[in-house]
């Protein structure tokens, strides 16, 4: 990931905070700050498909986040001091999680459509749609995954041996 040209060229990067069954992103987050890039993480709104990407000030900032009922660390709802990526300069790159992927770039998420809805909002931003890279285990690559017309394909899927 760290040697990827799209990552090297990106200044404003959104990345998920890993759940135990996902590719671990902690070292990537540390590198984002080491390279002087800006790091944004998701804040999901329960009972909706709305998600914002909020700015982290440092890798250590993660320890100040609250744990949701889904066991995901994210900024609290009353945390209004953080920059939302689309309120500023948009995003250059989004690293995306998922349950399964196919080689056409289709992604099976957790069913709420958070990333698809967010990418639609990105497309309306002056900086346009960011490049999207899914981080996957080889076992998550399938022949095909079910899609609907609202699903946005990822630009690239990175997995071991790809």
Mark the binding-site residues, compressed into ranges. 17, 22, 107-115
Which of 121, 54, 112, 104 lies closest to 81 in space, CA to CA? Answer: 54
From the annotation, which residues make up the binding site for substrate?
17, 22
From the annotation, which residues make up the binding site for ATP?
107-115
- DSSP secondary structure string, the chain? -TT-HHHHH-SEEE-PPPPTTS---HHHHHHHHHTT-EEEEEEEPTTSS-EEEEEES-SGGGGGSEE-TTS-EE--TT--SSPBGGGTT--SEEEE--SEEETTS-EE-SSS-HHHHHHHHHHHSTT-PPEEEEEE-GGGEES-----TTPPPPSEEEETT-
Which of 70, 15, 17 lies closest to 37 in space, CA to CA? Answer: 15
């Amino acid at each position: 990931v760290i040697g990827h040209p799209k990552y090297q060229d990106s200044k404003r990067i959104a990345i998920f905070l890993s759940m135990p069954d996902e590719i671990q992103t902690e070292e990537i987050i540390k590198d984002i700050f080491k390279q002087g890039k800006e790091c944004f993480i998701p804040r999901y709104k329960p009972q909706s498909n709305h998600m914002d990407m909020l700015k982290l000030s440092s890798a250590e900032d993660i320890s100040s986040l609250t744990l949701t009922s889904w066991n995901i660390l994210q900024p609290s709802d009353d945390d209004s001091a953080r920059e939302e990526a689309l309120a500023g300069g948009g995003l250059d790159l989004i690293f995306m999680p998922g349950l399964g992927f196919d080689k056409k770039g289709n992604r099976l998420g957790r069913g709420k459509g958070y990333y698809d809805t967010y990418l639609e909002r990105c497309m309306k931003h002056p900086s346009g749609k960011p490049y999207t890279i899914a981080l996957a285990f080889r076992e998550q690559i399938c022949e095909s995954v079910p899609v609907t017309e609202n699903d946005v394909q990822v630009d690239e899927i990175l997995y071991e041996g790809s």
